[in-house]
Amino acid sequence: MNRPSPSASAAGLIESGREIIQIEAAAVTALESRLNETFAAACGLVLACRGRVVVTGMGKSGHIGRKLAATLASTGTPAFYVHPAEASHGDLGMITPEDVVIALSNSGQTPEVVTILPLIKRLGVALIALTGEPDSMLARGADCHLDVSVNREACPLNLAPTASTSATLAMGDALALAVSAARGFTAEDFARSHPGGRLGRRLLVHVSDIMHTGEAMPLVEEATTLADALVVMSAKGLGMTLILDAGGALAGVFTDGDLRRHLDQGAQLTTPMQHLMTRDCTVAEPGMLAAEALRIMEKRQINALPVIEAGRPVGAFNMHDLLRAGIV
């Protein structure tokens, strides 16, 4: 059983952690000077790809490869990961001449990757290699080689892939996101590929998707008494009611907060709503993003909004609806 070394003290652990982060940070920083015409050419190959980008790598490089494929796919470049060992046993059929292959190998000599190199070349598929050895077999066989070499691993034994995987991950991100920017990929595009995430909901959900309509809307007329308006408010459960003028347009709103204020001021249950409602109230439109409506509600410190189209109420919603939609 191994005994803890003296460096296992709190101070020793903190110092060790700092040193590791410094080594990895230096490995990533060193990449900046290597972004040259070759990097631009690699981006060009991806931009010109009429099929999909196929990422492959073994071991820790494989883990980074899966992340790179996911980043590409989520930022506008169709991509997937293929295990190099499985590629030699049938999965190479996933690759077509329209594709681009990105191969990751720190040594550039990984047997499983090198084995499929001739097959990739035979298909006429463009190959981008990310390696730490510019003179390796994989680097020499690639159309574009991106140098991700590091001075040393962050591992105290200089063995476990650490700084090298950080450098490869950073270079892959640089490639994927430079291509994404060149495509003009927008936040709305990102949201469409992430509909289940919070960002997707904030960029895709509109007021029309969450508002209550028809019989679910709390509506009363200006002549309605406070007592009758409270019945409608309680039944609809939105914490407010919309007040209509004689022509059916929105005249104002009355909320739970208005109720408390007017009762404190001596309002009677027989008082008509035209004397109690808030005129010139804040409203939303059906096509407004729900996230924008939330911003307005937070700024004005209100919990519900009527939804208006051509001056007439077409819906209503409150903060609970935004919560249920995952906007808050």
pLDDT one-digit tens code per residue, 10-42: 998 999 999 999 999 999 999 999 999 999 999
- The C-alpha atoms of residue 142 and residue 101 are separated, in whole angstroms, by 10
What pLDDT, on a 0 to 100 scale, did the predictor assign at position 93?
Answer: 83
Model confidence at 294, pLDDT cuts 50, 70, 90, reads very high
User: DSSP H helical segments within 75-162, as ranges?
Assistant: 84-87, 111-123, 137-141
Is the per-residue pLDDT at 104 higher than 80? yes
Mean pLDDT of the chain: 90
Asked if pLDDT for residue 198 goes beyond 80, the answer is: no
**DSSP characters for 139-174?**
HHHSSEEEE---SS-SSTTS-SSSHHHHHHHHHHHH
The token pair that represents 137 in the structure block: 């077999």
Checking if the pLDDT of 3 tops 70, the result is no
Integer Cα distance of 325 and 328 in angstroms: 8
**Cα 109 from Cα 111, distance rounded (Å):** 6
- Is the predicted pLDDT of residue 206 greater than 80, yes or no? yes
Res 199: pLDDT: 59
Give me the residue spans of the domains in the chain: 9-185, 207-324
Strands 219-221, 144-147: pairing is unpaired
CATH code, residues 9-185: 3.40.50.10490
- Rounded to the nearest angstrom, the gap between the alpha carbon of residue 52 and the centroid of all alpha carbons in its chain is 21
User: What pLDDT was estimated at residue 209?
Assistant: 93
Contact 104, 176 (CB under 8 A): no
What's the DSSP call for residue 94? G
Say if residue 248's pLDDT is above 60: yes
Find, among 105, 100, 126, 130, the residue nearest to 115 by Cα.
Answer: 105
pLDDT of 231 reads 95
pLDDT at 195 over 70: no
CATH number of this structure's domain 207-324: 3.10.580.10
Predicted confidence band of residue 187 (pLDDT cuts 50, 70, 90): low
Integer angstrom CA distances of residue 65 from 105, 129, 270: 10, 11, 71
Q: What is the pLDDT of residues 304-313, one digit of tens each?
A: 999 999 989 9
User: What's the CA gap between 129 and 137, in Å, rounded?
Assistant: 10
Model-level pTM?
0.67
Same fold, 9-185 and 207-324: no
What average pLDDT does range 209-222 have in this prediction? Answer: 95
Tell me, what amino acid is at 158? N
